Structures are given as C-alpha cells and as structure tokens.
Amino acid sequence: MAGLMEDFGNFTHAVVRAIPDSFANEDSRRKKTVEVDLAKAQREHELYIEVLRHQLGLRVLELPADESLPDCAFVEDAAVVCGDTALITRPGSDIRRKETEAVKMVLKEMNLNIVEIDDESATLDGMDVLFTGREFFVGLSERTNQRGAEILADTFKDYAVSVVPVQNGRHLKSFCSMGGPDLIIIGSSEQAQRALKIMKQMSDHRYDKLTVPDDAAANCIYVHLPDKGHTLLHCTPEEFPESAKVFERLKDYLLIPVSNAEKVKVDGALTCCSVLIHKKV
C-alpha cells in the first residue's frame, strides 16, 4: 500500500510469450472469419517486445510459444500481478487454462507471492481486470464470473474490487485501460460508456477520462518511466486515425504508437500481450 499511487505505472519486468504458428488457425475464439496473417502478427509482436525492452527499458521475460495453445501470447489473461502478489487466473476458456502454467512458473521464479485459484467454479481472465492504482474493476463477462472476482478481491484485500458487467463476449479492457494515474481511457461505444458510468458510480475516487472514438484504441499501456515520465503505448494512426489524434491531447506524454493490426483481429489488445511487473530490488 505504501506509496500506492506513486508507484503506479512503474514497472521493471515484462512477461511475454511468443506467438505460436497455430495462432492463425481457427480456434474456438475466432468465430469471425477473419483472416489473420500469422507472419504479420508475429512481426507485430516482435516489435511490441522491442518497444517494451528498449523504449520502456523493461526486463523482458519471453516465454516460448506453445503450439497447443494458440492464444498463449496473450499472457495478460493468465495472471494478475499487483505489487508482490500474482494471482494466477483460471481463464474462462477451457482450452486456455493451460496457458497459466508457464506464466506461473516464471512469476514464481521472480519470487512473487503466487496465489492460485483452486475453485473449479471460478473463472477469471486478466483482460477483465482493470487496476487503477487505487482499486480494481472486474468485468463480469463470458470469461470472468462472480466467483473469480471474489477470489481476486480476496487476493488483493487492500483494494476495493467492484464488478462491472460486460456483454457481447468482450472483456472489460476491450474498450478501456488506464492512461495514467487516475486517467481512464475509454471507448465511445455504448457498452464502453455504460461500463464507465458504472465504474464512476462505484468509485469513491474521481478519475479523469479520455474518450477515444474506437473501442479497440482505448486499450493502451501506460508506463511511468523514471527518465521519460508518462509514457503511453497506443494504437497507430493507420489503424485508428481518429483515436490516434486524441492521444495527442495528452501533454507531457511520451506517445509510442504500436502497431497491433493483426492481433487485434483476434481480440489481442496491447495490454493482452504482456504482464507488467514492478519488482523492487
């Protein structure tokens, strides 16, 4: 708790995982008949990792891809890390459950306090967890249920954990993310706005919001760098020209557009592709 907000956005490590070749194959998650260019996606992912490593200066722990887990690159769903504690999730999708194993191993090696969900009835996707630095919002979605949220609340007792219903097979962070301390970036869709309204009502704290036209563009990665200050990884103008403009309103921010065109086709937002950790020492 100490220095709670001062630490917000401060990270030292990032856990990522390579995209397997099976990524482009149709898997259960890909109902839309969207053509995913595997090579492109992998290239994107490499660039993404480069940014984490070089521009953000994080120590990147890269896990090898697992061909049996097409979505394994979306490591965010596998763990929620806050402070020294890591909650290993129980993803809502059966076929993704095993993704947590490798993630758990690497987090354990980092000496984090590992908490696992052993309740068979609980499901939790990391993508449904929005940590604002002051509290948690958990999207109750097709992938995350009440019980999963309760376990999250049990794990991080210091913080209020509020639930936000999310429909249409999306995740909470499909349309929002933190853009800085007390700043929520939110999409414009009705669903996004409704979720924001709920979050506002649930919170004792008053957050700023930054509304972007495209929901997908609202998923950004905020990092506070010791030397560069506020830094935001966001969508490229090529993907979402209108939304990209909005970010320019953020003064004193280091803005880093990161291409995510292929991954986003399969709901792979920017935050999905890494677990950021602040490990002291």
Q: Spell out where 6-49 has E strands.
A: 13-17
CB of 55: closest distance to other proteins in angstroms? 25
Of 127 and 161, which has the nearer Cβ to other proteins?
161
Pairing outcome for strands 59-63 and 79-82: unpaired
Is 171 assigned a catalytic role?
yes
Q: Do the beta carbons of residue 205 and residue 134 sit within 8 Å? A: yes
Q: Active-site residue among 45, 171, 230, 234?
A: 171
Backbone angles phi, psi at 220, to 5 degrees: -130, 170
Q: Do the beta carbons of residue 77 and residue 86 sit within 8 Å? A: no
CB of 161: closest distance to other proteins in angstroms? 6
Of 162 and 236, which has the nearer Cβ to other proteins?
162
> Residue 110, SS3?
coil
CB of 167: closest distance to other proteins in angstroms? 9
Q: Which H, E and C letters describe 55-98, residue by residue? A: HCCCEEEEECCCCCCCCCCCHHHHEEEECCEEEECECCCHHHCC
Residues of this chain that interact with other proteins (CB under 8 A) are: 1-2, 4, 83-85, 113, 134-135, 138, 140, 146, 149-150, 153-154, 156-165, 182-184, 194, 197-198, 200-204, 206-210, 249
98: tokens are 């095993």
What contacts 24+ positions apart, CB below 8 Å, involve 257-261? 257/233, 258/47, 258/48, 258/51, 258/233, 258/234, 259/44, 259/47, 260/44, 260/48, 260/235, 260/236, 261/40, 261/44, 261/236
Residue 22: C-alpha distances to residues 4, 37, 145, 225, 264 (Å): 40, 11, 28, 35, 16
Give catalytic residues, as residue numbers: 171, 272
